[in-house]
Structure 1
C-alpha cells in the first residue's frame, strides 16, 4: 500500500476517479500468519482478509471511522448510543434474531466505541462465516432505530454511565483525559453524560447514522480459515439494496492531523469519593500515532511501567509495598497522544506514591535508561506484538487498524525490525522531551481540592 503523508492523504488524491469495479491486491504473505488481501469496492468500502488455513475459526469485523471526537457538544455520546441501537433490529431481523442466529452456532458478537472509530464484530466457526457476514452487515447497514428501542437503550446507557461512576479505577482515567484535553472533543466521555444522553432524540441519532456510516468510511476485516473472494462476494450480497449499496466513491483518507490540539499541563483534578483506595493518574501530552518515535515510546513505556520488572513496579510495589497495582501506558490519536502512570493505593500513602512516581519520571528524563533496560524493553515490545497475534480476533483488528488508522499494513517482521532499530539515544531523547513537562494529575478518592493545592480543581 502507498504510505500515507502527514496530511492524511493516501496518495490517491481527492480528485481521483472512483473505480468502476472492485479492485483486489495481495498485500502480504506473512510467514507468521497467512495471505493478506485487500479489495476496494466501487462504493469506496474496503475489505481486508487474512487467510489462516490452520485455524478453524474466523473473526469478522466492521470498522467505521467515526468515534466520540466526531460529535458536537450536544451530540456527546451519539456514537456510543448508535452502537447499542444497531443490535436492536433491522428490516429483516429482530434483536432476538440477531443474537440467536449467532449463538445457535456457538458464535459471539459484540461492539465497542472509541474516540476515533467504532467496531462491530463476530467470531464464529469457519463454516459459519457466511452467516456472520449476513448478520453483521445487516445490522450495520440497515438498522431500524425503532423509537421504542431508543428509549429502552437510553435507560441502559444511563445505567452504564452510573455503573462507570461506581468504578473509581476506571473513572480516574477519564478524569485524567478531561484534565489534559479540557473542552476539546478528545476530553469528552465516550459514553456521553446524563445531560447529553437524556435529551438525545431518535432524529439526532438517525442523522448521525446516515451521515457517518457511509462506504468510504468503512473497513471490513476478517481473519481465519477463509477464502477472500468468497468473503467479498458474500459482503456484496449482504449489503445489496441497503444504504451501503451506494454509487462510486474513493475510500476516505486516514484521519488528518488537523490543527494542534491544545492541552492543559500541570493541573490537578480531584473527584471526592469515600473509597477505601485512592486512584491516581499522573501524566503528560505525548506523540501522535504516525510519529516515527512511537516505537521508542513503546520501549520507554515498558521500561517505566510495562511489567513486573519495570522501574515503577519495582520501586513502588516490590521494594516498598505501597500499591497493589501500578503501571504506565501510552495512548495515541491522529494528532496528539498522552503518556500516563496509574497507581491504586491506600489514601494515606498517596503523597509517598506520588513523590516516588514523580522522582522516577524525573530521573529517566534527566539521565535516561540503560542499555540493559533498552534490551528488556525491546523484548517486551516485540513479545507483546507477536503474542498478541495468536488469535483471529487480534489479527482481524490488526488488518482494520492498519487500513483505518495508518493507511498501511506493516508485516510482522517489519514491525519487529522497527523495534529492533530503536536506540538508547532515541529513547532517552524522547524521555527528556516528554517527561520533563509539567505533569497533570487526576485523583479519585477521599480527598478535596485542598489536599492538592497547586493548580488543583475539583469535579465534585
Structure 2
C-alpha cells in the first residue's frame, strides 16, 4: 500500500491489485456528527446534490450515464463521520471515472430548483425509513443510547431540519468541508501513473483550512428501556450497550465477541433464540466502532410476548462469555480472519476500508487488524 500527500493537502491511498476492475472511494471528512442542530442532514443533502449536475454534466442522468455506459457503478453514502463517493469500473475506463468524480467534487452547481426537487426526494426517504421497522429500530436505539454525542441523530436529519436547509446553508457547508486537505482518495486496482492523474484532476482544488472535528466521549448510561409504540404484527428489539471507539483495544475484543455471539446461524445468540427455541426469525449481532464512539447490540423481531424471555436469554449468553474456552476463542478468530480476508478480495470493500482507517488514523492499520 502506498500513501501520498499532495501539495494541496489531498491524501491519496493506493493498493495495487492485479484485477480487471478498479475501485475509487473519495471520503470527505464530513458527516452528521459535524453538523449543528439547525442543519441536521446537510451532509446527506450535499451527497445527493453532487449527483445533480455540474457545468459540464447538466443533470443526474448525464453523470450516471458516463459511468453506467461503460459497465461501471457509481454511488455514495453518508454516515455520522464521513461522506463517501465511489465508482467501481473496468481498469481501462479509470480515466473516465476519475473525470466524473473530480468534476462532481469540484464543480457541482447546486441549482436552486434542483435543491427543491431533491429536498422532496430526501423527505420521502425519511418517510420510508420511518415506515420500515428494520431501519427505525436503529434510529430509536441510537437516540436513546446517546445523550450528548451527536451519533444520537440520524445521518439524513429530520423532516423539520431538512425542510429548512437553504441553498446558502449548502454552499457554506460545502465550501467549508469540501476542500482537498479534508479529502481522502482511496484506489484499489492496477492504475498506471495514478499519482500524476490525481494531481492533474485536482490541480485547481486549492488548500483551505477546514474545521477540525471535536470529539465527544460519553460514559456508559444506567440501564434504560425505551418503547416506541406502532401498529405492527411483530415487535422489533435492539438490546445493546455503549462501547468503545475503533482504535481502543477493547473494540478488537468486541469484534471477537461478535465472532462468538453473532457468527451467522451458528453464533450463540442465533442458536439459542432461533435454532433451539424458535422465538424469532431474524436475529443478529452488530458491533459499530468509529472515531469517538461505539455500540454493541443484538437485534431481532419477535412476538411481544417473547421479549422478556429473550432478554433473559441474551443476558445469560453474555454471562457464559466468562467461562469461554480456548477452542471457542480460536474458532471466533478464524471466523473473523475469514470474513476479513474475503471482504478485502472485493476492490470496493478494500478501498472503502482503507479510506475509513485513514480517517481514523492511518490506512496501514488495516493490515494490522488480524494481528490486533
Corresponding residue to 1:93 among 57, 60, 85: 57
Q: For residues 333-372 of structure 1, what are the structure 2 equivalents within 5 Å? A: 333-364=290-321, 367-372=322-327
Given that residues 245 and 291 in structure 2 are in contact (C-alpha distance below 8 angstroms), is that contact kept between their aligned partners in structure 1?
yes
Worse-superposed segment, 391-400 or 149-158: 391-400
Indicate the residue corresponding to 2:241 in structure 1: 284
Q: For residues 131-170 of structure 1, what are the structure 2 equivalents within 5 Å? A: 131-170=96-135
Question: Helix, strand or coil for the counterpart of 1:410?
Answer: helix
Change (3 A) 1:252 1:234: farther
Given that residues 306 and 329 in structure 1 are in contact (C-alpha distance below 8 angstroms), is that contact kept between their aligned partners in structure 2?
no
Corresponding residue to 2:207 among 235, 238, 246: 246
Q: Could you list the per-position Cα deviations for residues 281-324 of structure 1 after superposition, in whole angstroms to 9, with x for gaps in the alignment?
A: 01111111110232221111111223222111111111101111
Q: Does 1:220 align with 2:177?
A: no
Given that residues 181 and 263 in structure 1 are in contact (C-alpha distance below 8 angstroms), is that contact kept between their aligned partners in structure 2?
no
Q: TM-score, normalised by structure 1?
A: 0.77
What is the alpha-carbon distance in structure 1 between the residues aligned to residue 171 and residue 323 of structure 2? 51
Question: Helix, strand or coil for the counterpart of 2:296?
Answer: strand
Q: For residues 92-131 of structure 1, what are the structure 2 equivalents within 5 Å? A: 92-95=56-59, 96-131=61-96
Question: Helix, strand or coil for the counterpart of 2:364?
Answer: coil
Question: Helix, strand or coil for the counterpart of 1:269?
Answer: coil
Question: Helix, strand or coil for the counterpart of 1:42?
Answer: coil
Given that residues 179 and 264 in structure 1 are in contact (C-alpha distance below 8 angstroms), is that contact kept between their aligned partners in structure 2?
no
Q: Could you list the per-position Cα deviations for residues 147-175 of structure 1 after superposition, in whole angstroms to 9, with x for gaps in the alignment?
A: 01110110000000000011101110111
Given that residues 173 and 281 in structure 1 are in contact (C-alpha distance below 8 angstroms), is that contact kept between their aligned partners in structure 2?
yes
Indicate the residue corresponding to 2:31 in structure 1: 67
Structure 1 position 185, deviation (Å): 1.2
Indicate the residue corresponding to 1:192 in structure 2: 157
Corresponding residue to 2:335 among 362, 367, 380: 380
Indicate the residue corresponding to 1:440 in structure 2: none
Corresponding residue to 1:58 among 15, 22, 43: 22
Indicate the residue corresponding to 1:235 in structure 2: 198
Q: Could you list the per-position Cα deviations for residues 118-173 of structure 1 after superposition, in whole angstroms to 9, with x for gaps in the alignment?
A: 10011111110001001011101121100011101100000000000111011101
Structure 1 position 237, deviation (Å): 2.4
Q: Does 1:300 align with 2:257?
A: yes
Question: Helix, strand or coil for the counterpart of 1:170?
Answer: helix
What is the alpha-carbon distance in structure 1 between the residues aligned to residue 163 and residue 323 of structure 2? 49
**Runs of at least 4 residues off by over 4 Å:** none
Give ranges in structure 1 of 5+ residues lacking alignment.
Answer: 1-35, 419-460
What is the alpha-carbon distance in structure 1 between the residues aligned to residue 304 and residue 32 of structure 2? 33
Corresponding residue to 2:360 among 393, 401, 405: 405
Question: Helix, strand or coil for the counterpart of 1:394?
Answer: helix
* Aligned-pair Cα RMSD in Å: 1.9
Give ranges in structure 2 of 5+ residues lacking alignment.
Answer: none
Given that residues 48 and 221 in structure 1 are in contact (C-alpha distance below 8 angstroms), is that contact kept between their aligned partners in structure 2?
yes
Q: Could you list the per-position Cα deviations for residues 403-451 of structure 1 after superposition, in whole angstroms to 9, with x for gaps in the alignment?
A: 1112241364x33332xxxxxxxxxxxxxxxxxxxxxxxxxxxxxxxxx
More helix by share: 2
What is the alpha-carbon distance in structure 2 between the residues aligned to residue 157 and residue 381 of structure 1? 36
Structure 1 position 275, deviation (Å): 1.2
**Number of aligned pairs?**
371
Given that residues 23 and 347 in structure 2 are in contact (C-alpha distance below 8 angstroms), is that contact kept between their aligned partners in structure 1?
yes
Change (3 A) 1:411 1:112: closer
Q: Could you list the per-position Cα deviations for residues 366-413 of structure 1 after superposition, in whole angstroms to 9, with x for gaps in the alignment?
A: x3422221011111111111011111101211221221112241364x
Q: TM-score, normalised by structure 2?
A: 0.95
